[in-house]
Amino acid sequence: MRPTIGVLALQGDVREHFHALSACDAEPVSVRRAAELDSVDGLVLPGGESTAISKLLEIFELLEPLRARLRAGMPAFGSCAGMILLASEVLDTRPDAQSLSGIDMTVRRNAFGRQVHSFETDLDFAGLDDPLRAVFIRAPWVERVGPDVEVLARVPHTPRPGTVVDADPSAGDPQEAAGRVVAVRQGRVIATSFHPEVTGDLRVHRMFVDSVRESVAAGA
């Protein structure tokens, strides 16, 4: 079964998620309107600028319909900015920014620092046999999870071989974030601080697509 999965196409790295979903035998479609949201089996919220996407959700009258679909059990996957949008509480953001409360968690926006603080490392990820390469770009991290939230990955305490930190001399040390939660799941909603759509490793997307298929089969 080839599920129809929307990609919120208001801002951010939409194309990369389209490619990953297609490679996982899903049918990706753009979502910019409530009618388009109504037609999908699940939704990806891409990386980008979370406050801009939040404002655009209001402008395009998608905020409340999306909250309603999440409350009704629609599977969703958010990467980076998408994680911020799915949180129930966001720290270090604008007071007028909106969130979707798709996962019971507190997220700190831009927790790893500015663009020059971007880095790559390998993560142990629950449900995957081998480590996952993770790319962090102005990424958030999770400071609190609710009792029904499963932690899928944390920043390693010891740098993995091949960890790459931006060469800018002002770049931060990823070890300052050692142990921080960077991937979570609650029900059929998954969120990652990092960008699995840019590495060519499809395992997180496959996990999400499988969850969407299960939801469709269950009639959710």
Which residues are catalytic, by number? 80, 195, 197
Confidence of residue 157 (pLDDT cuts 50, 70, 90): confident
- pTM here is 0.90
Mean pLDDT of the chain: 89
Domain-located, residue 174: no
Is residue 165 domain-resident? Answer: no
The pLDDT value recorded for residue 166 is 47
CATH code (residue 47):
3.40.50.880
Summarize pLDDT for 16-60 with one digit per residue, the tens.
Answer: 999 999 999 999 999 999 999 999 999 999 998 999 999 999 999
CA distance 76 to 60: 19
Q: Is residue 172 part of a domain?
A: no
Total number of domains constituting the chain: 1
Average pLDDT over residues 132-143: 92
Residue 165 has pLDDT above 60, yes or no: no
Cα dist from 18 to 22, 24, 76, 85, whole Å: 6, 10, 14, 19
- Residue ranges for the binding site for L-glutamine? 48-50, 109, 137-138
**Is residue 144 predicted with pLDDT exceeding 70?**
yes
Does residue 168 form part of some domain? no
37 belongs to a structural domain: yes
What single string gives the DSSP state of each residue in the chain? ---EEEEE-SSSSHHHHHHHHHHTT-EEEEE-SHHHHHT-SEEEE-SS-HHHHHHHHHHTT-HHHHHHHHHTT--EEEETHHHHHHEEEEESS-TT------EEEEEETTTT-SGGG-EEEEE--TT-SS-EEEEESS--EEEEE-TTPEEEEE--SSPPTT-EE--STTPPPGGGGTT-EEEEEETTEEEESS-GGGTS--HHHHHHHHHHHHHHHTT-
Residue 161 resides in a domain: no
Segment 95-111 mean pLDDT: 92
pLDDT digits (tens, 9 = 90+) for 190-218: 999 999 999 999 999 999 999 999 999 99
Give domain status of residue 173, yes or no. Answer: no
Q: How far apart are CA 55 and CA 37, in angstroms?
A: 17
**Residue 188 domain-assigned (yes or no):** yes
Q: Which domain holds residue 98?
A: 4-110+141-153+181-219
- Who wins on pLDDT, 124 or 137? 124
Which residue ranges make up the annotated binding site? 48-50, 109, 137-138
